[in-house]
Each structure stands twice: as structure tokens, then as C-alpha cells.
Chain A
Amino acid sequence: MKMLSSLKPLLAGVALLLVVAPAAAQQQAADRPVEEDEPIRVGEGVTTAIPIAIPYMPTPRPADTAAGNTQNLGRQVAEIVATDLRNSGLFTPIGPPGLPAVSFPQVTAPDFGAFSPTGANNLVQGFVQANPDGTLTVGCYLYDVTLRSELTRQGYVVQPPEWRRAAHRCADTIYSRLTGEGGYFDTRIVYVSETGPARRRIKRLAIMDYDGANHRFLTNGQWTVLTPRFAPNQQTITFMTYQDERPRVMVYELDSGRTRPLVQQPHMTFAPRYSPDSRYIIFSMAVNGNTDIYRIPVSGGSPQRLTNSPGVDTGGSYSPDGSRIVFESDRSGSQQLYVMNADGSDQRRISFGGGGYATPVWSPRGDLIAFTRTGSFQIGVMSPGGSGERILTRGGFAEGPTWAPNGRAVMFTRGASSGQLWYVDVASGTTRRVPTPLGGSDPAWSPLRD
């Protein structure tokens, strides 16, 4: 099995997580049935969903582990892989229930004939094995049923509490091999958990896997928090807080564990977002009723002003190469999208529709900008030049898109007073709700985990 060496680091990290987040109950959220919208066909990029057979994964020897018996884990891993692939809208998983049982020796020597009648183009097999040192090995194999050949294989060694990551990485491998795109399943979401009446809403930072599993709260709700965002290098999180009744942007340093204000200013700072190299944060600052966009090194320093219109300039987001910034401004009289160079020069309007546009976010692929259509409160995308606008969501009350690291899916908040998290696959239009223990808003998708 290859990849074992590259997975060594996983062990150490996983062991630590065991201490902080042992609660098996945290996984209940992910086990709830997801709600599903009728798929929306968005025009270009629509693909036919690939039929793929995913039988339960055997174990060479049933063994009890901290995550349960390996026999049971093999069933769950297969189910997670199937759910990940189904939710992308790009696959039609067949099974695991109802498929022929796979024995351990068959994992590397599939009985292709048994799966031909299912109509599947592809077959995913794997196994879960308990190791003497307490770790788990999860094997993941992708086959072409018609050609009767192996397409790829991966093996993951994880501590038991991290077993879901192995399943997500297996799904990422399959997604990537069959679509040619990077995956997005082994990722996390930092978001704002909400509860209580609107007048006294309790808002807490929370973090979870992209599918809602392994949910943890990061703040206790004493102060309202808004708009968290992952640094691309995953070393810091920036967010806005009303701590001490001073609304401002904070940086939460993951290495040191410190939380500190981004800017030493008496004015409100908000709408933070990282540069692609994680060295800078652009943010908005309201000074005497006028809001502009500024840039500052994450490590501190003095802010550099990038816009100076008398209107509200906010919601800045970098292009993936860091050379440009898309932002919203009401300088024309309504909220519209503009693109400027990273130093603030050459500001050009790119949106012209009625009703307005807000919260632009540049895709990690660079090809699209996601936004909130104000008025109707829908999520849409357009090219960085402003052409090709299309709406991805049905119904209203959608706001605040965030891109999956492969640029193929967008998560957003839905709901006015009680928020929920949803995501839509940009190519297939498949929309899913992400389960959260309470209400949720302001999701930010992490990069793929290392």
C-alpha cells in the first residue's frame, strides 16, 4: 500500500483531537438525513451523473477499536463515500445496501461479473483494518467495471477518532480521478452557530467537517461573532466580534492560541478576508459613516487604504493569484460589484443588473465570482469580467457564499431569522443542506486538509 509514509503526520494530529473532541454524539448531525432540493440545471457544465457501485468494505479480522468494530466501520466508510459522491450531484452511487458482499481477498481482485448487472461504470472497494498500535488502516480502490481494471488506490492510516477523514479522502480520490477536478470532502467549515430569539440571538463560532460531523463550538456565545474565515494556510482564522462592545476584526492564531485585534483603531472593522498567500487581510472600516476597504499584514502593521469612495465599499475578496480584488460598492446608487488591482488601482464595475449584488467571492479556480443577489436574496455566479451571470439557488433568503476548495461547490446561509447552511454543486445544481445542531450562518469552507 502506498501513501503510508505521507500519512504518518496524520497520526500525531489525530491523537490530539481525541483529547478535545471525543464526543461520539457529535457525529449524530452527519447521520441525519440531508434535505434535498430538486436539482437546478444551470446550463453549461452539466454532466451526466456517473453510476458507481460502492459495496460495504470488509475487514481482514473483526476487531473492536475506539471507533467501533472494524466490521461496522467498513460499512460506515462505504456509506460516507457513497454520500459524499451522491451529494456532489456528479455521481449516482449504487449501494452499499443490496450489492454483493465483498470478501477481504476480493478487495484487490474484484468479482467484476457480480457488479456488471448493476449498470455501474465504476466500482469502489476497500477495507478497514485494526493495527496493533491502535491505528486503523483504510484501503480505497477504484476500478473500471467495463475495462475490468484498477484506476487508482490509496491507503490511509488514522487514529480511530479520525476515521471519517479516511472515508472523505477516499471519496476525494475517486471524485478527483473520475472528474479531473480536485476534491472537497476532506474539508471543514467554520461558521456561526445561532440560537435564541432574533432580538437576543446567541452567536457562537463553531467548526465541523464539511458534512456536519465532528462539530465543536469555539466560543461560548457571550459576544456576538460574525463572518469567520479560514486562512488559506489554515494557521489562523479571522472573524468579527462584538467583544467588549467594540465591533472589530480579530485574528485567531492557531499556533499560539491567541486571539488579537487585527487593527488598533477606534472604528468598526468588519468583512475580513485573507490574501491567497495568507500574508494579508483585506477588511472594511467604517469611519464617521463612510466605509472603505483596507489591507493590512496578518502579523500587524498599519492599514493601507484601497478604496476612497464616499459610499459603502465592502466585501473584498482576492483573485486566486492575489493580483486583483473583487468588492461591492454602492457608489453608483445601488450595491454593485467592482474589480480593482490589489493595490486599489483601476477600479472597474462588473455588474449592472437591477436589485443589486453583494458579498462577492472569487472562486479558487479563478473562473467565477459568486455573489448574493440582493433584493431576491439568491446566490449566483458570473465571470470576473461580469458576463455569464446565472443564479444557483431557488427561493429567497440566501446570502454569503463560500467556495469549496476545488471551486465546484458553493456553501451559503439560507433563512432570514433562523439560518441554515446549504451548498450547491455549481456544475450539477444539486443543492443540499448541511446539518448543524442549531441554526447556522456565515459558513467559510476550509482548504483541503493536509
Chain B
Amino acid sequence: MKKSMISLVAAAASLSLVAGCAPRTRELPPEPPSSSTPGDLGNQDSTIGGTAVPGSRADFLQSVPSDRVLFGFDSYSIDAEARAILDAQAQWLNRNPNVRVTIEGHADERGTREYNLALGDRRANAARDYLQSRGIAANRMQTISWGKERPAVEGSNESAWAQNRRAVTVVPE
């Protein structure tokens, strides 16, 4: 009893430390960060007009029809539309051989949390495998699954779900 209670307290304190937060005087959490939640928002194009630097994220977004491919419900197969998008991405990546990308896999909300993590992983890997088949070296691509944790569009309707079932190719800024 004593042992476990003490350890819980210590653990609570240490988790805060691990997470880099100062002791809190109030129990309300901080406001969500206003920008740059890292790694989970796909590409954000900050270039306004002008010519993008070759190999940059802006260049990528200007050069391909889309940075993302969409999937059917509970599916991770790459359809014709997705192939066309990934073909264009592969061409750009072949033109910019030093760029490494992260492919994010996402699911809509109509799946359990853990299954959707696996489904997002399948989607990210399906997109990666296709790009690899188009000549992109595997070591230039890493994958991450966000499951249903980071929808692109909020809402519980067919349109939102369709846009959230996606694999996004993210080029570093």
C-alpha cells in the first residue's frame, strides 16, 4: 500500500518532467498550440506566389495534383485515381533525389482506435509500396499511422469520412 501510493506520486511528478512541463498550479490544460502541431497536419504551403525553390515543399505542392491519396471504407487499395497522383509524386521525387518524405496514413472515425492505427499503417505502406514500385528508394520514405486521431476534415458525414481516409506524402519544409 505504502509503496504503491508513494510510487504513484513520484510517477506523476516524473511524467510531468519527462514531458517537459513545469509544476502546475491550475488543473486546466493549456490552450491548444496555435500553430505547428508537429508532423500531423500534412503539408502546409507557406509560399505565396513566386517560384518555389526546387525540392521544397512548395515546389512539391505546385508540381503534383495532390499530396494525398484517398481510400474506400476499410480499404487500403490504391485505385486508378490514386495511382495517377502517386505517379506524379514519384516523378517529382525522382527529379529531387535528395528529398526524403514521410507518408502519413489516416482513417475515418468509423473504426475502433487500435484497428484504425493498423489501418492507417496499411494505407501509408500501400502508398509507400506504390512509390517504391515507381523507383523511389525505400530508405527515402518513412511511414507513420495516425489512425483516426488527426482527421483532415471534421464532421460525421460521408464527405468528411472520404477525405479522412487518406495517405499524405509530406515533404520537409
Contact = CB atoms under 8 A, between A and B. Distances in A.
Contacts of B144: 245, 247, 268
Interface residues of A, number: 79
A205 B121 CA distance: 24
B19 A257 contact: no
B109 A416 contact: yes
A88 interface: no
A13 B1 contact: yes
Interface string B19-60: 111001001111011000111110000000000000000000
Interface in A245-263: 245, 247, 252-259
Most buried by B among A17, A199, A258, A271: A199
A1 to B, nearest CB: 19
Interface string A307-327: 000001011000000000000
B85 to A, nearest CB: 19
Interface of A: 9-10, 12-14, 16-17, 19-20, 23, 25-26, 193, 195-205, 207, 215-224, 226-227, 234-235, 237, 242, 245, 247, 252-259, 268, 270-271, 284, 286, 288-289, 291, 312, 314-315, 328, 330, 335, 358-359, 372, 374, 399-400, 416-417, 437-438, 441-442, 449-450
A252 B37 CA distance: 24
A442 B150 CA distance: 16
5 contacts: A13-B4, A234-B8, A289-B122, A312-B119, A359-B114
Interface in B151-168: 151-154, 156
Given A315-B114, A315-B115, 18 more contacts: A13-B1, A16-B6, A26-B27, A198-B154, A199-B154, A205-B15, A222-B20, A235-B7, A252-B15, A254-B11, A256-B10, A257-B15, A289-B126, A312-B115, A400-B113, A416-B109, A441-B113, A449-B1
A286 B113 contact: no
A442 to B, nearest CB: 7
Contacts of B80: none
Contacts of B152: 199
B125 A289 contact: yes
Given A224-B149, A291-B121, A271 B32 contact: no
Contacts of A207: 8, 12
Contacts of A10: 1
Interface in B94-138: 109, 111-115, 117-119, 121-122, 124-126, 129
Contacts of B28: 437
A13 B6 contact: yes
* Majority secondary structure, A binding face: mixed
Nearest to B153: A199
A196 B121 CA distance: 25
A12 B5 contact: yes
Most buried by B among A19, A23, A195, A312: A312
Contacts of A284: 114, 117-118
Nearest to A23: B27
B110 to A, nearest CB: 8
A216 B114 contact: no
A12 B2 contact: yes
Given A13-B2, A220-B29, A227-B114, A199 B119 contact: no
Given A25-B27, A220-B20, A268-B144, A255 B115 contact: no
Nearest to A413: B113
Nearest to A288: B125
